[in-house]
Structure 1
Amino acid sequence: MNIIEIFSSLSGEGLMQGLPATFIRCAGCNLNCAWCDTPESQGAGTEMSIEEIVLAVSAGMPPRYVIITGGEPLLQKEELTGLLAALRDAGYRIEIETNGTLPFTDVQEYATVSMDIKCPSSGEESDVTLLADIKSGDSVKFVVMDRTDCLYAQQVIESHDIAGTVFISPPVWGGNYREIADFILDEGMEARFQLQLHKSIGGVK
Structure 2
Amino acid sequence: MINAKLNINEIFYSIQGEAREVGLPSVFIRLTGCPLKCTYCDTEYAFHGNNLMEIDAIISEIKQYDTTYICVTGGEPLLQKNCYLLLDRLVENNYQVSLETSGSINIQDVNALVSIVMDVKTPSSGESEQNKYTNFKKLTVKDQLKFVIGSHSDFDWSVAILNQYHTTAGVLFSPVFGNITPTQLADWILDQQLNVRLQLQLHKLLWGDEKGK
Whether the 8 Å CA contact 1:115–1:140 is kept in 2: the answer is: yes
Partner of 1:61: 65
User: Counterpart of 1:138?
Assistant: 143
Partners of 2:85 and 2:22 lie apart in 1 by: 26
Structure 1 match to 2:98: 95
**Cα distance between partner residues in 1 of 2:18 and 2:152:** 21
- How far residue 127 of structure 1 moved from its aligned partner, in angstroms, is 1.8
For residue 80 of structure 2, give the secondary structure of its aligned residue in structure 1.
Answer: helix
Residue 179 of structure 1 deviates from its aligned partner by: 1.9
Structure 1 residue 36 corresponds to structure 2 residue 44:
no
| Corresponding residue for residue 163 of structure 1 | 168
TM-score by length of 2: 0.91
Q: What's the CA shift for 1:84?
A: 1.6
Partner of residue 127, structure 2: 124
Residue 85 (str. 1) matches residue 88 (str. 2): yes
Contact 1:8–1:63, Cα closer than 8 Å, also in 2: no
Match of 2:30 in 1: 25
**Which residue does 1:107 correspond to in 2?**
110
Is the counterpart of residue 76 in structure 1 residue 80 in structure 2?
yes
Deviation at 1:45, TM superposition (A): 3.7
TM-score by length of 1: 0.95
Paired letter, 1:75: L
Q: How much does 1:5 deviate?
A: 0.2
* Alignment equivalent of 2:16, drawn from 11, 19, 27: 11
Query: Deviation string for 1:76-96 (max 9, x for gaps)?
Result: 13x112212221221111010
The CA distance in 1 between the partners of 2:204 and 2:176, in whole Å, is 9
SS in structure 2 at match of 1:25: strand
Q: Which runs of 5+ in 1 are unaligned?
A: none
Aligned AA for 1:87? L
Deviation string 1:43-102 (CA, Å, 9 cap, x unpaired) is 1241011111111111x211111000000011113x112212221221111010000101
What is the deviation of 1:144?
A: 0.4
**Moved >4 Å (runs of 4+):** none
Query: 1:108, CA displacement in angstroms?
Result: 3.4
Distance 1:25 1:189, change over 3 A: same
Question: Residues 184-195 of structure 1: matches in 2 within 5 Å?
Answer: 184-195=189-200
1:199 to 162, 186, 204: 204
**1:204 positional shift:** 4.2
> Percent sequence identity over matched residues?
36
Q: Could you tell me how far apart the structure 2 residues matched to 1:45 and 1:9 are?
A: 23
Q: Is the 8 A contact 2:151 2:179 kept in 1?
A: no
What is the distance in 2 between the residues matched to 1:22 and 1:120?
31
Q: Which runs of 5+ in 2 are unaligned?
A: 1-5
Q: How many residues are aligned here?
A: 203
- AA aligned opposite 1:66: I
Q: What is the CA-CA distance between 1:153 and the residue it aligns to?
A: 0.7
Please say if residues 84 and 111 of structure 2, whose CA atoms lie closer than 8 Å, have aligned partners that are also in contact. Answer: no
Contact conserved, 2:7 with 2:31, CA < 8 A, in 1? Answer: yes
CA–CA separation in structure 2 for the residues paired with 1:181 and 1:108: 34
